[in-house]
Structure 1
Amino acid sequence: MDFFQCIPLREAQEIIAKELTGAIVAFEQVSLVDALGRVAATDIAAIENLPPFSRSTVDGFAVRSADTFGASEAAPSLFTIVGEVLMGQPTDIELRPGQAATIPTGGMLPAGADAVVMLEYAEQPDPHSLLISKMIAPGENVVVKGEDIAYGSIILRRGQKITPAHIGVLAASGVTYVPVRQPVKVAIISTGDELVDIDVPVKAGQIRDVNSYALGALFTGWGCQVTRMGIVRDSFEQFYRALAEAAVTHHMVVISGGSSVGARDFTVKAIDGLGAPGVLFHGIAIKPGKPTIFGMVEGTPIFGLPGHPVAAMTVSDQLVKPAVRLLSGQKNTFQRTRVTARLNRNVASSPGRDDFIGVRLIKEGANNKAAPIFGKSGLIRLMAESDGIMHIPADKSGVYEGEAVEVLLLYDAD
C-alpha cells in the first residue's frame, strides 16, 4: 500500500469510528471514591428524592406565604409563633393561618408552610409574637421535596465521564458502588535501532525514547491503563512477536515509529500477517503525521504513528483519542474543548490537507490572541510550549493576521 495516496483526515476518522462502534470494553463495579474520571457503564436512577423533605435554605420563620401579602415596613403582618423546628429532626408542627415557626437553615418545613421569611425581615415583640415587614412568594427560601433530584430520574447516564460534580450527586443519592467501563488497556511499542531508554547514556547516532513516555502520559490522562512494551529493534521477527503479544493482551496497540515506507519498517507487513482485516489505511492528508497507519487484528485496533514526537502526539489527539472514547463507550467521540482567538500573523497552508499548528494563547483583555509556534515535527519542545493547536482545514490555503481561529486546547480532560 502506497502511503502517498493519502486519505482525508475525516475519512480516516470515519473508518476508525466504523470499526470500533460497539466494540466497548467490559464493565466493573468500583467504589464511589474510585469512580472519578471513569466512564459510566449504565444509566443510574435516583432511588429517593433529594432533598427527602421540603427544607429551609435560610435561618428564619416558616410561614404561609399568603399571610404575608400586603406586609410592609409601615404595616407589618402579625403572626403567632407556635413552635420551633429543630435541626436534623422531624417536626409535627402544622401551621394554620396567621401562625409561624422558627426554623434553621436545612430544617424541615412544617406542614401548612410554603415559604420562609429571613430573620432581617422579622421582629419579635415578645417570645410568641412575630412582625413580618415584607411580602414573600410561595416557595421563597425553600427547597421542596425532590426539587434537586426526583425519585426515578437519571442522575448519571451511560457513557458519561464521571466528574467531581457527579460524585457529589451520587453521594447525595446514597450510591456507594458505580458500574464503570474498565480502563482501555493500551500497549506502546517503540521501534528503532537508534533508540535508547531515558536512563541510558546517549552515544553518537542514538536518541532517547521520548514517545513511549510522552504518549504514555497522554493516554494515562485519558484514563487508559498503559503498558510500555519497551524498545523493539529493527528486526521483523522481534517486532512481529512483540506486536502479536500486545494485540492479544491489550485493547489497543500504538506503535511509535515504523510508519514510513523505509526498507526496515515492518509495521504494515506485521499487521497484515497477524489477522484480518489487517491494515485499513496507510497515510492521511495531515501535517504533521502523514505516514500514519491504522489496522485491525481480530478486533484489536493498531495504530502506527510517526516517530517524530509532535507528529505522534498530533495524530494521537485526532485519531487515537476518539478510538479510546469509542472503546470506553463515551458519548461525543469527537467533541473537543475549543477557544476562539485572533491570529497575530499570517499563516500559509497547503490546500488538500489538514494542518495542525501549535499556538501560544495570549490574553488581551477579554479576548485571546493566538501566536503560532513553528518548527519541525521532531522538536518535542513545540508541544511543551503550546497551549493549544490551531486547525487549518483542508479546504483553506491559510489564515490571515487578525482572523478568528478555533484553538483545540491541549490535554483537555474530556
Structure 2
Amino acid sequence: MNRKVIKRVHSKTISMLVIVYNKILRVSVAVNCDNDIFITVEQALIRMTNAVRSIAQVENVSLEAALARPLAETICSPINVPPYDNSAMDGYALNLSTESTNTRYQVVSQILAGRPCDIKIKSGECARIMTGGKIPAGCNAVIMQENVRQIGDSHIELTKAVQLGDNIRKCGDDIGEGQTIFTLGRKLSAIDIGCLASLGLTHVRVFKRLTIGIFTTGDELAQPGEKLQAGQIYDSNRPMLKALLNQAGFDVVDAGVIQDEKEAIKSRIKKLSETCDAIITCGGVSVGVADYTGKAFSELGEIDFWKVAMKPGKPFAFGKINHQHKTVILFGLPGNPVSSAVTFEILTLPMLRLMSGQQAQSTNTLYLPTNQTIKKRPGRRDYQRAIIQRNEYGTPVAVTPFAKQSSGVLSELAHADCLIVLEKEQDGVEVDQYVLVLPVAK
C-alpha cells in the first residue's frame, strides 16, 4: 500500500473514531443525566466546543478602541521597522576601515533623530549622532560617547576598540516588511497596540464584542445597600460575574434578580435572547424543589448536560435555544459563589472566547509540593483554593491549601493566587507530594 493510500486510510480512521467518540459522549450524557451521574470536565469541554462556534461580526476600529479585542484579520507588516539603519545610543557614527589602525576621527556633521545627514562620511571621518539618528552613508559602526576623548573642536580619539556594526540597529531588525505580526483571533494587548502603531496603522479589523445576558435567581437574595431581612443574604454572584465578563471584554445586559418562579425565569430568558449572544444564569440548576432554572432551560430549548464531576461546581448546565434566526447559548452556573466563579473560569469563559473569535489560550500550570495534607474523596475533580509559597528570589517552591474549601467561602478565593487541581480518581495528598497548580489571574 503506497503512502498516499495509507494517509487516506489513516485520515478516515481518525474521522470515524472522532464520530464514534462523539456518539459515545452523547449517549453517556443522556444516560448520566437520567441516572444522576455526572460527565467529566473533559467531556463537558468537548461537548461545549462541538456545540458553539465563532459568531462575532467584524468591524473596523481605531487603535484606541482595539484594546482587548480579538483580531478579525492577520496583520502583516507593510514596512520595515525600523525603516532605516539607526543608532542604538548617543555617540559617533564612524567610517571604520578594517585595514586601518586609526583611532582619531574628524567630526564633520551632527545627526539628530529625525534630522538625517545628507553627506557621505569618508574614511577617517565621523558624525556626532543621537539615539535613533539615521546612520549616514559611509558609516558602519557607532561608538558610545563615553568611549571617546575630545581633541579640540573637531576631532575625537577612540579610547576603546569598536567593531563593524557595533551599536547599529539595522533596517527591519524589529519587524521585516511582509512579516506576519499577529494572526487572526489574537486578543490585542496594550503592547500589541504599540506594535501596530509602529507599522503606521490607525485602524484594524476586529470582532465585535459579544453581548452576554446575566441574571441570578433566589428568593433569599437581597441587593447590596438594602437591609437584610430574616433568611436573606446579599447577591454577590451577579456583581462578580458582571465584573468578570467586563474584564474579559464582553458587553453585559444585567437582568437583575428573579424570584424562584419558573414562568418568570422563562420570560426573562426569552427577553434576553432577543438581544444577547449568550445567557448566564446563576442558581436554580440543582435538584432542589425550588430549582426552576434547569426546568426553564428544558422547556425553552435543549440541555446538553447539567452535572459535571467537579468540585466546586457540580450543578452546571449547558444548552441552547433557537430565537428567530439565531442560536443563543445558555450557561447555568451554580448558586454558591465559589462554584459560580470556578465554573465560569473553567467551563464558561473558554466557550465565550471561542464564540467571540479569540484564539484558544494556553493554560500556565505548575507542579509543586504541598506543605499540608489534603483530604479528598474520589469521584470528582477538585479545584482547591491555595497560596503559592515563594523563596527569597520569588521562585515558587510549594503550595499551601486553605483550610476552608466550602463553596460558600468566597473570601478565601479572593485571597487565593492559585487552584490545586486534584483528579477525580485521587483519594488524598500527603505532605511534600507534588500536585498540579493552576495560577489564578488577578
Alignment coverage as a number of residue pairs: 403
The answer for the alignment partner of 2:173 in structure 1 is 147
Paired with 1:104 and 1:23, the residues of 2 have a C-alpha distance of: 49
The answer for the alignment partner of 2:432 in structure 1 is 402
Q: Which has the higher helix share?
A: 2
Query: Structure 1 residue 3: deviation in Å?
Result: 7.0
Q: Deviations over 1:1-37 (max 9, x none)?
A: 44721001101011111112x3231122222222222
- Residue 308 in structure 1 maps to residue 336 in structure 2: yes
136-145 vs 236-245, which deviates more? Answer: 136-145
| TM-score in terms of structure 2 length | 0.85
Q: Aligned AA for 1:60?
A: G
- Residue 382 in structure 1 maps to residue 412 in structure 2: yes
- The SS at the match of 2:134 is coil
Superposition map of 1:202-281 within 5 A: 202-275=228-301, 278-281=302-305
Paired with 2:313 and 2:379, the residues of 1 have a C-alpha distance of: 14
Query: Structure 1 residue 212: deviation in Å?
Result: 0.8
Query: Structure 1 residue 54: deviation in Å?
Result: 1.0
Q: Deviations over 1:228-270 (max 9, x none)?
A: 2111112221111111112231111111111112233233332
1:295 to 314, 319, 322: 319
Between 1 and 2, higher relative CO (CA 8 Å, sep ≥ 6) is seen in 1
Pair 1:130–1:349, CA change in 2 (3 A): same
The answer for the alignment partner of 2:204 in structure 1 is 178
1:347 to 367, 371, 374: 374
Query: Structure 1 residue 126: deviation in Å?
Result: 3.6
117-126 vs 296-305, which deviates more? Answer: 117-126
Query: Structure 1 residue 340: deviation in Å?
Result: 4.5
CA contact (8 A) 1:346 1:399 kept: yes
Paired with 1:36 and 1:233, the residues of 2 have a C-alpha distance of: 37
Pair 1:265–1:150, CA change in 2 (3 A): same
Q: Deviations over 1:359-403 (max 9, x none)?
A: 123333333432212232122223223222111122422322122
Paired with 1:166 and 1:23, the residues of 2 have a C-alpha distance of: 22
Paired with 1:248 and 1:32, the residues of 2 have a C-alpha distance of: 31
The answer for the alignment partner of 2:307 in structure 1 is 283
- Residue 25 in structure 1 maps to residue 52 in structure 2: no
- Sequence identity (%): 32
Paired with 1:80 and 1:395, the residues of 2 have a C-alpha distance of: 78
392-401 vs 309-318, which deviates more? Answer: 392-401
96-105 vs 231-240, which deviates more? Answer: 96-105
Paired with 2:147 and 2:413, the residues of 1 have a C-alpha distance of: 58
Gapped regions of structure 1 (runs ≥ 5): none
CA contact (8 A) 1:286 1:355 kept: yes
1:363 to 373, 376, 390: 390
| TM-score in terms of structure 1 length | 0.90
Pair 1:310–1:2, CA change in 2 (3 A): farther
The answer for the alignment partner of 1:99 in structure 2 is 125
**C-alpha RMSD of the superposition:** 2.1
The answer for the alignment partner of 1:42 in structure 2 is 73
CA contact (8 A) 2:263 2:296 kept: no
CA contact (8 A) 1:3 1:291 kept: no
- Residue 6 in structure 1 maps to residue 30 in structure 2: no
CA contact (8 A) 1:32 1:176 kept: yes
Query: Structure 1 residue 309: deviation in Å?
Result: 0.5
50-59 vs 393-402, which deviates more? Answer: 393-402
CA contact (8 A) 1:70 1:135 kept: no
Pair 1:200–1:98, CA change in 2 (3 A): same
The answer for the alignment partner of 2:423 in structure 1 is 393
Q: Deviations over 1:258-283 (max 9, x none)?
A: 111223323333223323xx111111
CA contact (8 A) 2:319 2:330 kept: yes
Q: Deviations over 1:278-311 (max 9, x none)?
A: 1111111111111111112232211111111011
